[in-house]
Amino acid sequence: MKLRITKKILVFTVSGAVFIAGSLIFYAFARTWNKTDIEFRIHINEKLVKESTFGESPTFAIWLEDPETGSTQTIFVTSRAGLGDWEGKSSVPVALPKWFQINETEKLASNKLDNKIPYKLAITGATPKPGYFTTRVRVLPGSKWICWIEVNLAGDFNDKYPEYDEVNKTSDEYKTGQPALLYRAEIEAAYGNSVKPGINGMCLLDSLGNVVIVAPQGITTATGIFDELNINVIKPRPRIIEWH
């Protein structure tokens, strides 16, 4: 009698566990129905990083812009820029001029993209080491976006942007090297879409501190900081718990 009860309990327990596991798997897949992610896949050039004065990975930021309203949402920014960690300097405005401007606007404005980007994002992350880096954002299926990426590799000096200018007797105060480059691409959040961003210009600050985007001049190695750059629309990964 005791043996039969034990077997019944065992069968009941196993059946319950299988049912719960199946339910959780179904729930995870159900959560991805009619949802899309935009994935940014970047490869950071290790050789250029090592050849720069500081040997540190580049500072960069990624954000989306709604082409209808001009509203923006930062998706990712490396820790130095995101946390203001500049090792003794209060700020380095020339590191990512355009993103700093975007960030100030986002701080002042209420989030107008809740209907297209449904989850609050933790945007600041550790600066990726050379190699592949990916980040994703969940967006409304069918929504259209302008994708922006701004990048700067500190200490990547060249003849046009030297550490010390012998002619003008001036030095690169922030050791920025070649100016930040701004990449741009447009994409619709439809599964399977893929684009390669192109260089929109380089970002400078004028004498009044305003951001100026101009055609790249005197840029050499900076165009290879990201030697692979793709934006893809993918199906979300099934997860029981979403971390945002």
Q: Which residue range is the domain that position 92 belongs to?
A: 35-234
Residues 2 and 46 in one domain: no
Residues 100 and 210 in one domain: yes
Which residues neighbour 244 within 8 Å (Cβ) at sequence distance 6 or greater?
A: 119, 120, 121, 122
CA dihedral 160→90→80→241, nearest 10 degrees, is -150
* Residues 80, 127: Cα–Cα separation, whole Å: 8
pLDDT value at 119 more than 80: no
* Residues 205, 209: Cα–Cα separation, whole Å: 5
Residues 218 and 130 in one domain: yes
Instruction: Note whether residue 138 is domain-resident.
Output: yes
Instruction: Note whether residue 57 is domain-resident.
Output: yes
Instruction: Note whether residue 183 is domain-resident.
Output: yes
Residues 88 and 155 in one domain: yes
Average pLDDT, the chain: 85
Q: What is the pLDDT of residues 167-198, one digit of tens each?
A: 878 898 899 999 999 999 999 999 999 999 99
Of 231 and 32, more confident: 231
Instruction: Note whether residue 107 is domain-resident.
Output: yes
User: What is the CA angle 84-90-96, rounded to 5?
Assistant: 55
Amino acid 168: pLDDT: 79
* Distance in angstroms between the alpha carbons of the first and the last residue of the chain: 52
Residues 44 and 4 in one domain: no
Cα of 216 vs its chain's centroid, Å: 22
Q: What is the pLDDT of residues 36-92, one digit of tens each?
A: 999 999 999 999 999 999 999 999 999 999 999 999 999 999 998 988 878 767 689
Whether pTM > 0.85 for this model: the answer is no
CA distances from 123 to 26, 61, 83, 197, 227 (A): 29, 9, 11, 20, 23
Residues 63 and 98 in one domain: yes
Residues 18 and 57 in one domain: no
Instruction: Note whether residue 144 is domain-resident.
Output: yes
Residues 147 and 135 in one domain: yes
Count the Cβ atoms, other than its own, within 10 Å of residue 222: 24
Instruction: Note whether residue 66 is domain-resident.
Output: yes
Instruction: Note whether residue 240 is domain-resident.
Output: no
Residues 153 and 61 in one domain: yes
Residues 71 and 190 in one domain: yes
12: confidence class by pLDDT, cuts 50, 70, 90: low
Amino acid 16: pLDDT: 55
pLDDT value at 243 more than 80: no
CB-based contacts of 81-86 (< 8 A; 24+ apart in sequence): 82/123, 82/124, 82/125, 83/124
Q: What is the pLDDT of residues 124-143, one digit of tens each?
A: 788 899 999 999 999 999 99
Residues 20 and 92 in one domain: no
Cα of 220 vs its chain's centroid, Å: 23
Give the chain's domain count.
Answer: 2
Instruction: Judge contact between 117 and 64, C-beta under 8 A.
Output: yes
Residues 118 and 13 in one domain: no
Instruction: Note whether residue 153 is domain-resident.
Output: yes
Short-list 87, 76, 90, 176, CA closest to 126: 76
